[in-house]
Structure 1
Amino acid sequence: MTSQNQTIQQQGTHQWVITLEKPGLASGSWYGVYTPPVGATRHDVFKVLKSGIEAENPELAGATVIFFALEPNTL
C-alpha cells in the first residue's frame, strides 16, 4: 500500500485548475499537479502555469483568466 506522503511526492504537492479565455477566439481549461520550489508564492505558481499554457497555445497569449485554483494535494 502506498503511503499518503509517497503519493503526494509522485503526484505533486499541489493540484491546480485554470480556465483561460479570449472572447470570441479561444478558451480552455487545464488541470494538473505541481510541486513548487521552496519559497515560491501562489502568484509565482500562477505565472509559471499560465505562461506554460500560453507557450503551448499561442492563440491564448494574453488571455483573460476566468478561474484559477491551487490547493494542497491532500485530503
Structure 2
Amino acid sequence: MTSQTSTTTPAAAQGSHMWVLTLEMPGRGMSTQYGTWTPPADSTRYDVFVALRGHIVSQHPEMASANCVFFSLEPNRL
C-alpha cells in the first residue's frame, strides 16, 4: 500500500512548513504523505512529528505500529 496526500494551493494559502512523512510496515506496506501546515506557536519539531504521525494513523489505522523511515519538516519558502 502506498498513499500520497498533497495540497496544491497558492503559496499565500499554504502553511508555513512543508512536510513529508513515510511509514513502513516491513514486508506489508508503506505510506508516504506530504503537505503544508502552520504548526501552533511554540511547537517543537517533535510536536509536529507526533501530530502528523497521528494524522496519518487516523487515516490508516493499520500503520499505528509502523516504523518511520523518513521525516522532513522545513520552512515552506525558497
Instruction: Give the TM-score, by structure 1 length.
Output: 0.86
| Cα RMSD after superposing both structures | 1.3
Q: 1:7 aligns with which of 7, 11, 31?
A: 11
Q: 2:31 aligns with which of 28, 31, 38?
A: 28
Greater helix fraction, Structure 1 or Structure 2? 1
Q: 2:57 aligns with which of 49, 54, 57?
A: 54
Identity across the alignment (%): 48
CA deviation string 1:32-57 (max 9, x = no partner): 00000000000000000001101110
Tell me, what secondary structure is at the counterpart of 1:24?
A: coil
- Amino acid paired to 1:36: P
Instruction: Give the TM-score, by structure 2 length.
Output: 0.83
Number of paired residues?
69
